[in-house]
Structure 1
Amino acid sequence: MTDIALAWNGRDADLVIEDGDLVLDHTLQTPVVISMFSDRRARSDDALPGDQRDRRGWAGDAWPEVEGDKIGSRLWLLSREKEIAETLRRARDYGKEAVTWTLEDGIAARVDVTASVPRRGWLHLDVTIARRDGRIENHQYDTLWESL
């Protein structure tokens, strides 16, 4: 699998360019960035942050190639939550939900996600994907809590 490389900068992703050319990514970095930091549509039982009414999500999810496929994560639901253990558990669960497709598509044998607060106002996510071919990919992301 080859994608155009994306780099995460703490608020959003950007294309990686070297010597005026787009860089290609042969790892899961780009699809994991898209999975973790694109807004998945909130479920009907999800509490929306603040006074929002928009359940967000990607329009393409209305017509997936594979029934039930969804793009993105529900991390955005945590943007107004307190930085407490329960919220970190939800961040971990939402992160794992976002990359579960790697298991379903036979790319990964195991996926682990941990969430922590390295300093006030920041969420740190560690995503470890054990690929079926034996390779282990570790991806780490720091993001401003309010940017979720």
Structure 2
Amino acid sequence: MSDLRTVWRDLGGDWLVAGPSLAEDDGLETAVVLSLFTDRVAAEGDTAVEPTARRGWWGDAYPEVAGDQIGSRLWQLAREKQLPAVLARAELYAREALQWLVDDGVASSVTVQAEVVRQGVLGLLVTITRSATPVIRFRFETFWKGA
């Protein structure tokens, strides 16, 4: 089954054009982009978030599976300083957002490495292991406003 290919560029997702139509892929890259860069609702204990600005996707109020949530909490790091503790949170938030790939049997494992690519840019290296295909790696960069 194919899907419209969604890629991450600079500040947002984009669809690629292939000839006279949109490019397609197996959907994995699109699923990863949407999982990482859609805003997940902030957890109750997230202290950096105002109670009235918890974001999230409205569809999470009506999940097909109880407790399912779309997206990641990476948005909470946009104004954080580039510190090792913040990189650890970026890895945690990305793994949390991609855990569904393992839970649903799409992948056997997912690993994430976060790094400071350059001043003001957070880099994520996502490695996905699937049993029937080789290891797949995606590299993403997103801007940090609180550099």
TM-score normalized with structure 1 length: 0.92
Question: 4+ residue runs of structure 1 moved beyond 6 angstroms?
Answer: none
Identity %: 42
Deviation at 1:52, TM superposition (A): 7.6
- Give, in angstroms, the shift of residue 2 of structure 1: 2.4
| Partner in structure 2 of residue 71 of structure 1 | 70
Cα distance, 1:79 vs structure 2: 1.1
Residue 26 of structure 1 and its aligned partner are, at CA, apart by 1.2
**Could you tell me whether the CA contact under 8 Å between 2:126 and 2:137 is conserved in 1?**
yes
Change in Cα spacing, 1:137 to 1:47, as seen in structure 2 (3 Å) is same
Quick one: distance in 2 between partners of 1:78 and 1:145? 7
- The answer to whether structure 1 residue 14 and structure 2 residue 48 are counterparts is no
Q: Does the alignment pair 1:115 with 2:122?
A: no
Tell me by how many angstroms 1:135 deviates: 2.4
Deviation per CA, 1:35-90: give whole Å up to 9, x if none.
000000000100235x6831000011111111111100000111111100000000
What does 1:79-118 align with in structure 2 at a 5 Å threshold? 79-118=78-117
Q: State the superposition RMSD in angstroms.
A: 1.6
SS at match of 2:125: strand
**TM-score normalised by L of structure 2:** 0.93
Structure 2, unpaired ranges of 5+: none
Q: Which runs of 5+ in 1 are unaligned?
A: none
Q: More deviation in 105-114 or 16-25? A: 16-25
